[in-house]
Structure 1
Amino acid sequence: MAFQTGRRGRSGNEPPPVGAAASDVEPDQESVARAIALRLLTGAARSRAQLADAMARKDVPDAVAEKVLDRFSEVGLIDDAEFARMLVRTRHAERGLSRRAIAVELRRKGIDDELASSALEEVDGDDEEAAARALVRRKLAATSTLDTQTRARRTYAALGRKGYPPGLVSRLVREELADAASEVPGGLEPD
């Protein structure tokens, strides 16, 4: 007695009557590797290491994965240097991450240290301080109804999670709190 599965009533081990699976039950590994890479690259840019990891999870042999990845690199679909530069720009500008936090993310995504260092040169110390200052101002404004100690603690924590060094955060918080304290409420000038 055969088990009926699906809407068409096929047994569990019969191939479908039409489509790619009907004619090629087991596709070649190179096609599988290409399909994996194209699917992932369609959603977002990826590093070569991320694509290789995805192929390894699907049991694509290393030699086949290397061949497909080499070809994708040749035609410009994979470019780790450009991927690293793009990641640095977006993580710094949109999320306000520090160079240190971005370096950790680049390493996690499989970008080698030399490419990561080159990409991180796009963010200098002044850029990093400006981003940190903007984050400090935003966090202090969001916590304006709280006491000063709580505001400072929450601001330190928020910028610490974004990878900023404690010395820089401490200086910026002190400066911004001093600026806020020197402002007169209501925007009136003192006599």
Structure 2
Amino acid sequence: MIDESASHEAIACSLRLLAIRNHSRKELVGKLLKKGFRQDTVEAAMSYLDEKKLLDDEAFGKELISSRSKRRPIGERSMRFELTRKGIPDDLASDLLSEYDSAELCRVAAEKKFVSLKRYDPSQQKKKLESFLRNRGFEWLIIKETVERLFKNQPS
């Protein structure tokens, strides 16, 4: 039997969390359980949120990709990992990443980082830039092409 007051409390807590930022279903369930709500109470709250169309993993995933791409671009594999870690199902993550432009995001990240590398000689700049992009999860082929293009466009 579901405790109605606990259910209302879980819904209110969920709405407060959603007011701060969008969450995936998995994230929200985890936060409610961590706050001490029982599983059946959390499920009732999720049903209510579904009924009111307040939970949308696809919208959450799109928002995450967009904000991440603007703030701190990462490679597709890293983005897929972040999506699944946040609770986005694999098939939805694949759909969301179908238009992910890793090469463009790599270029943006490289150009931004390159500014801070001016004090180094070109070979050090290349190594540091490659390492930076690799740590961001970009694939080696994309990194190589990006770095070559960036250094080709630099005045001698």
Number of residue-to-residue matches in the alignment: 153
Q: Distance in 2 between matches of 1:80 and 1:91?
A: 16
> What is the RMSD computed on CA atoms of the aligned residues?
1.7
Q: Does the CA contact (< 8 Å) of 1:36 and 1:54 recur in 2?
A: no
The yes-or-no answer on 1:47 pairing with 2:24 is yes
Runs of 4+ in 1 over 6 A off after TM superposition: none
Which 5+ residue runs of structure 2 have no aligned equivalent?
Answer: none
Deviation at 1:59, TM superposition (A): 2.1
Instruction: For residues 25-61 of structure 1, give each alpha carbon's deviation from its aligned partner in whole angstroms, at most 9, with x where no partner exists.
Output: xx93212211221121111000111110011112211
Q: Which residue in the other structure is 1:99 paired with?
A: 76
The structure 1 residue matched to 2:88, chosen from 101, 111, 125, is 111
Q: Distance in 1 between matches of 2:56 and 2:99?
A: 17
Question: For residue 107 of structure 1, what is the amino acid of its counterpart?
Answer: T
Higher relative contact order (CA 8 A, sep 6+): 2
Q: Percent identity?
A: 25
Q: Distance in 2 between matches of 1:134 and 1:72?
A: 37
Deviation at 1:103, TM superposition (A): 0.9
Instruction: For residues 73-101 of structure 1, give each alpha carbon's deviation from its aligned partner in whole angstroms, at most 9, with x where no partner exists.
Output: 22121111111122122222332222212
Question: For residue 112 of structure 1, what is the amino acid of its counterpart?
Answer: P
Q: Which residue in the other structure is 1:90 paired with?
A: 67
Which 5+ residue runs of structure 1 have no aligned equivalent?
Answer: 1-26, 185-191
Q: Does the CA contact (< 8 Å) of 2:11 and 2:48 recur in 1?
A: no
Question: For residue 78 of structure 1, what is the amino acid of its counterpart?
Answer: L
Q: Distance in 1 between matches of 2:9 and 2:131?
A: 45
